[in-house]
Structures are given as structure tokens and as C-alpha cells.
Amino acid sequence: MKVSTLLNKASEARCDEDAMTLSDILEDEFFRAKALNEYSAGNSDRCFGSDSVVDISFEINNLLSDEYAICAKVNVIHGDENSYELQVRVSTVRFLDKRGMGSQNYEYDEESEDKYIADENDSIAKFAGQIRNLMIRQHASLIQSVGVSSYKLAYQVAKKCL
């Protein structure tokens, strides 16, 4: 499915049921893509807001340890005059209590956050691949921050882990 097809469906949504259907379609397309097919959605949120716009988001998490994860938050964002964008924010998450995904005490590394907006002419599968690459880069940066001096080596290690 093309990103433009998904965004057109978002602009045609008129109720919560439409938002839920659109969210299901988006998640199915993402996790059917080879780049992310081993993952699943977390923290899904979908509604048709009081301002008559669709609000859809979900997360793709790669748990690295009980202390770190790489999180990609995918959003369908309302823009100007009933137009929408599909975007992702990829961040390193640190679990301060070292309880992994069950943590209640965590922080996002906002300095390392990458934001990317999908091109309307691309497919969802291509966007999923771009998200995977952003997650690998984020992990490589984390590896470098703990003492691996070569980004190339850090990237190779991160790629094997994702």
C-alpha cells in the first residue's frame, strides 16, 4: 500500500470506528513488511478526536537489555486543511529501574531522537525499511557511547541485533 493511499483514508475518516479500522490497516501493512515482520505493535492509540481528526500512533520496540531499548513511535499526524502525514520518531529509551519493558521509571534520550516523515509516493513497506535503518543507526550510536570508537563496527553489530 502506498503512503498516499493510507493518508487519503485518514482524511476520509469520520468516526472512532474508521480510526480503528485505519489503525488496523496501518499495523498490518507495517508488520507484513519484511523489515519489521518480527516485531509487533505496542502502546497502540487510535481515536477520532473531538476536533474531527484521526489520531493514530503505535510503537515498535527493540528491547536491547533490561536497561535499554530502541523505540520507534509511528504517528498519523493531522496537518493543514484535512491533510495528514505519516511520521516516525526513533529514540533510545533508558529504563532507570532496570526492569525492561515492564519499567515504570524510564526516560527517552531526546538528544538522540530521529524524526522522519514518509514520502507520500513511497510504499508502507519502504517506510518500514527506513524505520528499521533509523533503529539500527540509533543502536549504533548507543554502542559508540559506551566505548566502541568505530561507527562502522558499531553499525555492523547493531545491524546483527535488529
pLDDT digits (tens, 9 = 90+) for 53-90: 888 999 999 999 999 999 999 999 887 776 899 999 99
Q: How many domains does the chain have?
A: 1
pLDDT digits (tens, 9 = 90+) for 123-136: 999 999 999 999 99
Q: Domain range spanning residue 21? A: 3-161
For 32-77, the DSSP string reads HSGGGTT---EEEEEEE-TTS-EEEEEEEEEE-SSSEEEEEEEEEE
